[in-house]
Chains A and B, each alone.
Chain A
Amino acid sequence: MIEASPTQIWIIIIGMAIGTFLIRFSFLGLVGDRPLPAWLLRLLRYTPVAVLPAVVAPMLIGAKADTDPLRLFCAAVTIVIGVWTKNVLWAILAGLGLFFGLGAVLG
């Protein structure tokens, strides 16, 4: 159970709200319509493939994850279907369908 006082809870909520907004607003607010240099634009094109795998990997493998062969298998299927069909929906349905389907069968 949370033992923090209502004041502490609201400090956390408001602090997270302001901090998160400032992070998201950073470049949008400060740079706006000023042109960015070409080398930076080239770098930024890679943000999804550079950031999202680093978010996902620790959830599936590594010290803090409860590594589970079923999850790893379903994650691999999601990647294969995603690369093959180039379709986000099919990849999600394949990965989650297999996870809950096999989970039910295997108990």
Chain B
Amino acid sequence: MSYSPATQQFLKGAKDGLPFHIVIWPFAAIFGAIATQAGLNVVEVMGFSILVIAGSAQLAALQLMTDNAPTVIVLATALAVNLRMGMYSAAITPHIGKASLATRAFAAYMLYDQPYALASIKFEKEPDLSLSEKLGYFFGVAIPIGIAWYLLTLAGALLGEMIPTDIGVDFAVPITFLAVVAPMLKTLAHVASALTSVVLVLVLSFMPYGTGLLVAAVAALLVGAQVESWMEKRKAAA
């Protein structure tokens, strides 16, 4: 049996996304369990995971709601946590911008960290993929992770108290992101960009609502691009 090129890419995406499931499953179950223990009912918990579908923002909102923060602060903070996804949207647009509006809207709904990270690596490595292959790969990563996110949130919400919420699973999130970034540190420009990002976000940690992250990220983009053009000039001169 032979699959269309787009289906083959979908399967590749699903396979490349597998490592993330190690993290997504417990993360979703713990979100469901904590939210239920904090007093949300199952419909509200699933409302978060299905409509918002953004793990770290959901946890941030839950934390603030438990502290009885004002609604406006909860919304502002949660959305600030998600602002980095504006950069994902910009980065993915040159690759899948030609798709129909409905497809782009669906891709936007699923533009969380993992499909963005894997797709941007893949599309840089294989720029000649067709639009439908690129979409196939993106949704191959995104759809299984989305479904796992719904189902495990539901399991966590239903099992509630039976789920241990303090097993250090919060550490799985930084580990996943580090594991995604490390293989990309292949040029001086990438290393310089990553170091700028780390140093600045720590220096700017006094800034409210995660705005320091945005400043650090934009500065790191500029450093990466600048170092890249320096290296090209040196190469051309040599």
Q: Which residues of chain A have a CB within 8 Å of any CB of chain B?
A: 1-4, 6, 8-17, 19-21, 23-29, 31-36, 39-64, 71, 74-75, 78-83, 85-89, 91-93, 95-96, 99-100, 103
* Nearest CB of B to A88, in Å: 5
Bound: A44/B220 CA distance, A: 11
Instruction: Give the secondary structure class of A's interface.
Output: helix
Bound: A83/B126 CA distance, A: 20
Closest to A8 in B: B71
Q: Which 7 A-B pairs have the closest CB atoms?
A: A82-B182, A46-B224, A50-B220, A91-B179, A17-B51, A25-B108, A54-B201
Q: Which of B5-13, B90-98, B145-153 contacts A (4 or more CB under 8 A)?
A: B90-98
> Given contacts A12-B61, A96-B171, could you give 12 more A-B pairs where the C-beta distance is less than 8 Å?
A13-B47, A13-B52, A23-B89, A25-B108, A28-B96, A53-B194, A53-B220, A57-B201, A75-B178, A81-B182, A87-B183, A91-B179
Bound: A24/B97 CA distance, A: 13
One digit per residue, 1 when the CB lies within 8 angstroms of any chain A CB and 0 when it does not, for chain B 84-127 equals 11111111111011100100110111010100110011001000
Q: Which chain B residues border A85 with CB–CB below 8 Å? A: 183
Bound: A96/B177 CA distance, A: 12
Q: Which of B78, B109, B181, B218 is close to A52, meaning CB atoms less than 8 Å apart? A: B181
Q: Which chain B residues border A62 with CB–CB below 8 Å? A: 202, 205
Closest to A86 in B: B183
Bound: A56/B181 CA distance, A: 10
Q: Which chain A residues border B33 with CB–CB below 8 Å? A: none
